[in-house]
Amino acid sequence: MKIETPILALALLTLGPVLKADLPSWRTTRNGVYDTANAPTEWESKLLFETPLPSKSNGTPILVSDRIIFTAEPALLICADRDTGKIIWERSNDLMELNDLSEQKREALQAHKARIADVERSLQKLRSDTRRLERTLDRDPDNTEIKERLEGMYQERESLDAESAALMGDPEFRQFVKPPAHNTNGYSSYTPYYDGKRLYAVFGLGVVVAYDLDGNRLWSKFIEHPDHRWGGATMPQIVDGKLIVRFDDYIALNPKNGDEIWRAPSEVVFGTPAPFQIEGKSFLFTPRGEVIRVSDGKVIQEGLVFLHATRDWSIFNSPAVVGDLIYAVSGVEKANGDAYAYRIPKSLDTFNKKGLELAWHTEVENDRYYASPLIHDGLVYIVTRENKITVLEAKTGKIVYTHEIKGARGTAYPSMTLAGGKIYLGIDDGHMVIFKPGKKFEEIARHSVGPYRSTPLFTENAAYLRTYESLQAVSSL
């Protein structure tokens, strides 16, 4: 909905020049701490505007000058006025539209996509039937008839998987075919990035694009499809003059034209690597516990976080760098939960000899951690997907307290943020829980803002949130 004009007029009066500070990337410093004295405790009663959006997205908006820029499914980049929420421009980045295809090529492509859809429908039914029969076999493990039927289904599935892979990988059509992605994630979970010159966006179709702030496309590149069926979320970022993106591998691009500079192999991951420097040299700490040298893409250290033997893809969030420490957390439900802090050496000589030094490792709740860690005032805040908060000492890893959020049925996908002396915890059923930082849990307020998986962002005068259905701005005053 749009708010009524009198309220909007008041909103515009409150949004002064101090609001215009840029927030050009996800969670500002990636730690999630916003340097603002003000942040809202109330929500709906302080609403400045609410702009309906064409489709959902998990991506977080960014603020540049007088504009707020964000994504929408499956490959939309949208720019709105940050004071009013009015849409300024919208650009589709579907590869059919990025390329000037002949009518004949378009018809052939549509027929190819139809064949892929037929195979995928057959695969989905076969997967469902297989799971149902496997459960029956669990109850009757000696049933030879079921075993034989399952064997035939496994063979059929292998054949269909091969056919699907061949269709998806057909060099004539490959870049135009939408890769599979889980509905939870989609194709637009990659937060945009602005480097002061160009606006960069990545979509799970395998495309990277650069725009100016007026919506003029500067360049576009098809790189590759993501390496799994869940979709990606790694934010593009400029490190040491290179645009770092990830689909199947980590890839450094020339930000001026998208040309590839180097490529570093990587397994399944969703978060964004954290950059750090030693004596002016740049490195990346990846969510999987690898260290990549930015100058040439060489992986110089790995194995720094525990990877589950059969679910090593369960690495969902992004590490955070605060001072000389890198913080990371990951886990698998009913199997493991691990929080880490690694110390960055002061000298390259020490780093080249010993790598990053483990400061501490603490076993935490055995669960997935979709949200990235928040570090503030000597404490590390983490939350499981089931909404259980753990607070640890930043220097030692000692657990200070745990607290389970009651009354919410959703999943803690959004990363916690701190603004105006308050911590904001998001849950995708629409809950926003606001609590005090410190060594004991004290809830301040709780709101229902509509389903969302994005992370809120804060300026001195306002908070912004991208829900599934709308872009919201809330007064901090």
Indicate if 87 and 224 belong to the same structural domain. yes
Indicate if 138 and 4 belong to the same structural domain. no
* pLDDT value of residue 20: 60
* pLDDT value of residue 30: 76
- Look up the domain containing 14 and give its range: 1-54+413-477
Indicate if 154 and 233 belong to the same structural domain. yes
3-state DSSP call for residue 336? strand
Beta bridge partners of 462: 475
Q: Can you tell me which residue has the tokens 């990549």? A: 292
Task: Give the largest CA-CA distance in the chain.
Answer: 75
* pLDDT value of residue 179: 84
Q: How far apart are CA 427 and CA 454, in angstroms?
A: 10
Whose CA is closest to 94, among 114, 78, 74?
74
Whose CA is closest to 33, among 421, 466, 367, 301?
421
1 within a domain of the structure (yes/no): yes
**How many CA within 13 A on the CB side of residue 265?**
3
354 within a domain of the structure (yes/no): no
Residue 105 maps to which CATH number?
Answer: 2.40.128.630
Indicate if 212 and 137 belong to the same structural domain. yes
Domain final residue pick, 265, 296, 325 = 265
Indicate if 71 and 179 belong to the same structural domain. yes
Indicate if 39 and 125 belong to the same structural domain. no
Indicate if 167 and 100 belong to the same structural domain. yes
Domain final residue pick, 240, 265, 290 = 265
Torsion angle, alpha carbons of 133, 313, 302, 306, to 10:
-80
112 within a domain of the structure (yes/no): yes
Q: How far apart are CA 191 and CA 26, in angstroms?
A: 6
323 CB-contact burial (10 Å; exposed 0-12 / middle 13-18 / buried 19+): exposed
Indicate if 104 and 245 belong to the same structural domain. yes
Q: How far apart are CA 157 and CA 124, in angstroms?
A: 10
* pLDDT value of residue 225: 87
78 CB-contact burial (10 Å; exposed 0-12 / middle 13-18 / buried 19+): buried
* pLDDT value of residue 3: 40
Indicate if 63 and 157 belong to the same structural domain. yes
Residue 322, both tokens: 């605060």
459 within a domain of the structure (yes/no): yes
* pLDDT value of residue 11: 40
* pLDDT value of residue 23: 95
Structural domain count of the chain: 2
- Tell me the pLDDT tens digit for each residue of 1-42: 334 333 333 343 334 333 467 999 988 777 899 989 899 999
Helix (H) or strand (E) holding 465: strand 462-466
309 within a domain of the structure (yes/no): no
Beta bridge partners of 71: 77
Whose CA is closest to 278, among 224, 326, 219?
326
Q: How far apart are CA 445 and CA 191, in angstroms?
A: 27
Sign of CA dihedral 230, 234, 235, 238: negative
Contact 68, 84 (CB under 8 A): no
Indicate if 181 and 216 belong to the same structural domain. yes
Q: How far is CA 428 from each of CA 29, 163, 214, 330, 432, rounded to the nearest angstrom?
A: 23, 36, 32, 19, 9
Helix (H) or strand (E) holding 113: helix 103-139
Indicate if 28 and 113 belong to the same structural domain. no
275 within a domain of the structure (yes/no): no
355 within a domain of the structure (yes/no): no
Domain final residue pick, 265, 288, 320 = 265
Residue 451 maps to which CATH number?
Answer: 2.40.128
Any alpha helices (H) in 39-102, and if so which ranges? 95-98
Indicate if 46 and 66 belong to the same structural domain. no
Q: How far apart are CA 345 and CA 150, in angstroms?
A: 54
- Tell me the pLDDT tens digit for each residue of 194-247: 999 999 999 999 999 999 999 999 999 999 988 777 889 999 999 999 999 999
Q: How far apart are CA 200 and CA 212, in angstroms?
A: 9
Beta bridge partners of 463: 458, 474
399 within a domain of the structure (yes/no): no
* pLDDT value of residue 477: 84
Beta bridge partners of 475: 462
* pLDDT value of residue 461: 92
Peptide bond into 74 cis (omega under 30): yes
Rg (CA), the chain: 23
Helix axes 144-168, 103-139, angle to 10 degrees: 160
Contact 347, 278 (CB under 8 A): yes
Q: Running along the chain, 477 residues long, what does each successive block of 10 average in pLDDT? A: 37 41 85 92 96 97 97 98 98 84 82 88 92 91 92 94 87 79 93 97 96 98 86 95 97 98 94 97 97 98 92 90 97 95 98 97 98 98 98 99 96 97 97 98 97 96 97 95
Sheet with strand 320-322: strands edge to edge: 320-322, 325-332, 336-343, 357-363
Q: How far apart are CA 42 and CA 409, in angstroms?
A: 22
